[in-house]
Structures are given as structure tokens and as C-alpha cells.
């Protein structure tokens, strides 16, 4: 008789990432991070969130905030987040995030939070509303990650400091009470791009830029996208090549390469002897063509609020089932009494 052994499938690492629904998603957000979320779904247990609790550290108009949350959820689904492969939820609909964040606040040192560069930057930017949430934001971010025992967190340069604090909090808690949290590692996106402003290529593309021509939004109309690329800042050399002192062209080549899959050498060959006008038009057209199916799918999804709301509820329930297990361990180890539900 043949002996059969039960071979357990290899456990996929858990990867967690979140984005705020604080405004229209930009081409920089997409090429820098979100496009990679889609690619990561097959190799990892992917858990994604709209971090709306983080969003209110800056004052929001409630009607616009609600619309932005619907829009962001529909747009990320349109990009290709597959709810059969990933969990994709709205942070405020999983109350364990706020509950663990308070506990972690009590295991995070004031000095650690005061050193966070994003707190310093946002305090200057929003000097009329330097609230406690803005200060303790990194403890909530730590809760977001640690609730799901995430092995990996995709990080850009601007988030490395927050991830390091998350690791410190997890290690501190584990030392005090015995292993409770997975200590996460940063995942450097292999194809992540840092997309700069079209009008000031020394600055990162930002949805809050006062210059409307500096930023391409994923839901911009094709004519507006083309116009913005035609007006993109370049240099006087009129030669499409990657190099020092050519920040504007370097940025356009980065965008074109992300969209087409071509490297810099191939782009330089393609546009050899051609002027900047022709190159900028080609970049704009490539972006328009790439975004067209995403925009079409978004338009379909945003008209079906009932479907989106069913996705919110189902994915919040999935996330809560995982998060509640971690939170129960934490509450027990800290010494809270168990809650008896009637």
C-alpha cells in the first residue's frame, strides 16, 4: 500500500500596504507603488487598506472625504486588485486598528515620535492644526502593520523612518511580554519609480501641488494629460538622453520606461535625432493609452455603489478576523480583563 504524506503548501509571506484616500490618486502614486500592489498579489498574502483614519490628521470636508474614499476604492479595484487574491479594506471599518493604536501609544516614547521628520514637515505645512493625531500617527501606522503579522511592508524613502519605529515598538513589546508581533522587514519595490513634478522636477509629484500642470491624476481626461506633458519642464539641450542636470527629461524617461517597459538606452535610441516636443507627446500618449482601461473600469465600478459597499463589508470582516486574534493576544498580555459578550 502506497504511503502518502500530507505535504503542507509553503506559507506565503504576508505583505501589508495602505494609502490614504485624501484626494485624487496621481500618476506618481500609481507608478511608485500601486502598480506594484497588483504584481505582488500572486507571490504574497497581500493585505491592502485605505488608511482613512490617518487622513483626518489634516482637516477634511466630510462630503468630499466620503467621495474620495469611494473613488479611491473603485480606482484601486479598476487597477487590478483582485479580491479573490487579496484583502482590501477601509481602515476605519476595522476598529481593531484604533484599539491597538492606543495600546501601542503607551509603548512608544515621546522622543521617538518627536524625531519623525514627517511630523515636522506636516506641522509646518498645517501650522494651524498641529493635533495629537498628527504626532501619534506613527503608532497607528505600527498598529496597521502589526495587527496582520506582516512579514513585509513596501516602503519608499519617506516611510523608512516609520517602519523602523514599527520594528522598535514590536521588539520592545515582544521583549516585555514574550513574542507577540512579527517584526516586519521593508520590501524595496524592484520596479518602484519616484515620479517627480512635471513643473519642478526637483520635487516629488504631489496631489497637493498648487500648480495644476505639475501633477497628472489618474482620472484626468486624455486631453488634459497630453496638455500637461506638453508643458512639462525640460532643458535647453533638446536631446533625449538620461544624465546629470537633465532632471525634467530624466523624469519623463522614468515615466515612459515604467509605462512601456523600455530601459533608458532603448528610449534614447527611439528618440535619437527627435526633439523634446515629439518626445513629450509620445510620453503623454503612452500614459493616456495605459490609463484608458483603468478609467473605463473605474467608471463602471463607481456607478455601482451597492457592489462597492458589499466589497467594503466583506473585506472588513476578513481583515477583522485576522486583526482580532492579534489584538486578543495583546490585551491578554498587557493584563486587560477579557470581555464577556452576552
67, 160, 190, 204: the catalytic one is 204
Position 8 scores a pLDDT of 57
Indicate if 122 belongs to the active site.
Answer: yes
Q: Which residues of the chain have pLDDT under 70?
A: 1-9, 120, 123, 157-158, 190-192, 342
Domains assigned to the chain: 14-193+305-334 (3.40.50.620), 222-301 (1.10.240.10)
Indicate if 120 belongs to the active site.
Answer: no
Biggest CA–CA distance in the chain, Å, is 79
Alpha carbons 248 and 234: distance in angstroms, whole number = 4
Position 38 scores a pLDDT of 92
Which are the contacts of 108, defined by CB distance < 8 A and separation ≥ 6? 136, 138, 139, 142, 165, 169
Closest to 107 (Cα-Cα) out of 20, 181, 184, 16? 181
Position 128 scores a pLDDT of 76
Alpha carbons 342 and 273: distance in angstroms, whole number = 77
35, 122, 228, 246: the catalytic one is 122
CB 139 within 8 A of CB 113: yes
Indicate if 340 belongs to the active site.
Answer: no
85, 194, 207, 318: the catalytic one is 207
Position 130 scores a pLDDT of 81
Residue 90's DSSP bridge partners are 50
Span 195-221, pLDDT tens digits: 999 999 999 998 888 898 999 999 999
Q: 86 exposed, middle or buried (CB, 10 Å; 0-12, 13-18, 19+)? A: buried
Span 29-52, pLDDT tens digits: 999 889 989 989 999 999 999 999
Alpha carbons 246 and 134: distance in angstroms, whole number = 36
Position 57 scores a pLDDT of 87
Position 1 scores a pLDDT of 46
> How many CB atoms are closer than 10 A to CB 85?
15
Position 209 scores a pLDDT of 83
Alpha carbons 57 and 15: distance in angstroms, whole number = 25
Amino acid at each position: 500500500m502506497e504511503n502518502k504524506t500530507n505535504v503542507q503548501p509553503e506559507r506565503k509571506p504576508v505583505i501589508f500596504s495602505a494609502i490614504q484616500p485624501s484626494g485624487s490618486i496621481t500618476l506618481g502614486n500609481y507608478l511608485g507603488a500601486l502598480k506594484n500592489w497588483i504584481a505582488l498579489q500572486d507571490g504574497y498574502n497581500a493585505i491592502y487598506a485605505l488608511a482613512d483614519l490617518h487622513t483626518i490628521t489634516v482637516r477634511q470636508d466630510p462630503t468630499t472625504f466620503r467621495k474620495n474614499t469611494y473613488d479611491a476604492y473603485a480606482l484601486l479595484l479598476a487597477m487590478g486588485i483582485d479580491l479573490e487574491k487579496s484583502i482590501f479594506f477601509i481602515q476605519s471599518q476595522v476598529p481593531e486598528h484604533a484599539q491597538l493604536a492606543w495600546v501601542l501609544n503607551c509603548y512608544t516614547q515621546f522622543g521617538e515620535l518627536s524625531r519623525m521628520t514627517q511630523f515636522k514637515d506636516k506641522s509646518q505645512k498645517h501650522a494651524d492644526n498641529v493635533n495629537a493625531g498628527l504626532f501619534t500617527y506613527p503608532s497607528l501606522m505600527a498598529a496597521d502593520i502589526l495587527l496582520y503579522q506582516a512579514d513585509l511592508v513596501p516602503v519608499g524613502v519617506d516611510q523608512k523612518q516609520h517602519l523602523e519605529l514599527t520594528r522598535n515598538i514590536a521588539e520592545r513589546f515582544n521583549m516585555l511580554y514574550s513574542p507577540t508581533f512579527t517584526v516586519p522587514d521593508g520590501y524595496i519595490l524592484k520596479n518602484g519609480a519616484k515620479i517627480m513634478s512635471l513643473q519642478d522636477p526637483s520635487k516629488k509629484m504631489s496631489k497637493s501641488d498648487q500648480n495644476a500642470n505639475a501633477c497628472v491624476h489618474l482620472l484626468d481626461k486624455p486631453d488634459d494629460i497630453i496638455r500637461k506633458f506638453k508643458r512639462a519642464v525640460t532643458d535647453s539641450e533638446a536631446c533625449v538622453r538620461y544624465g546629470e542636470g537633465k532632471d525634467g527629461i530624466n523624469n519623463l524617461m522614468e515615466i515612459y520606461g515604467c509605462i512601456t517597459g523600455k530601459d533608458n538606452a532603448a528610449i534614447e535610441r527611439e528618440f535619437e535625432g527627435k526633439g523634446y516636443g515629439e518626445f513629450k507627446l509620445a510620453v503623454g500618449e503612452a500614459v493616456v493609452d495605459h490609463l484608458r482601461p483603468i478609467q473605463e473600469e473605474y467608471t463602471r465600478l463607481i456607478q455601482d455603489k451597492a457592489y462597492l459597499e458589499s466589497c467594503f463589508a466583506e473585506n472588513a470582516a476578513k481583515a477583522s478576523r485576522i486583526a482580532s486574534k492579534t489584538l486578543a493576544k495583546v490585551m491578554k498580555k498587557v493584563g486587560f480583563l477579557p470581555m464577556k459578550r452576552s
